[in-house]
Amino acid sequence: MVGIVIAAHGELGTCFRKTINLFLKDAKSITSVDLTESSGPEKFVRDLEKAVHEVDSGKGVLIMADLFGGTPANSAWKIVSSTPNCQCITGVNLGMVLEVLFQRDETKTLSELEHVAKEAGVNGVRLLEPI
């Protein structure tokens, strides 16, 4: 099973995980790392590396970061650059995370989940207009 790490500013990652429990009570191989005022970038990178290794079962890890160009995504880039079978997608939203978790099973590859995440992120953003 591909591991999932949500990397985000504030407590957004933790909030995503709590919300996921409303849909999937027993989601496995998923964790989050929050960038708080007290953690700082260096500690965040260390915490993110630790989280990646914790959820890696040998099938790879998908880091889902909140903001392209932000510290969580930049930290993930450092890890992706030096860690085999690890990728990062930015712009994480709840629909994206849920779709990845719903479609993740023993047969889904990291590459397939990257595509699922990107499609869910793009397709989940809609402008609701009056009928």
Instruction: Count how many residues are written for the chain.
Output: 131
Which spans in the chain are helix H? 12-23, 40-55, 71-82, 94-103, 110-123
99 in a structural domain: yes
88 in a structural domain: yes
* Whole-prediction pTM: 0.94
78 in a structural domain: yes
According to the model, what pLDDT value does residue 18 have? 95
Q: Which residues of the chain have pLDDT under 70?
A: 106
According to the model, what pLDDT value does residue 25 have? 85
According to the model, what pLDDT value does residue 105 have? 81
Average pLDDT, the chain: 95
Residue 88: which CATH number?
3.40.50.510
39 in a structural domain: yes
What percent of the chain clears pLDDT 70, i.e. is strictly above it? 99
127 in a structural domain: no
| Burial of 91: CB neighbours in 10 Å, binned 0-12, 13-18, 19+ | middle
Cβ partners under 8 Å of residue 22, min gap 6: none
Cβ partners under 8 Å of residue 43, min gap 6: none
Q: By residue range, what is the domain housing residue 72?
A: 3-122
Please count the structural domains in the chain. 1
Pairwise CA distance, residues 17 & 82, whole Å: 26
131 in a structural domain: no
130 in a structural domain: no
According to the model, what pLDDT value does residue 106 have? 67
56 in a structural domain: yes
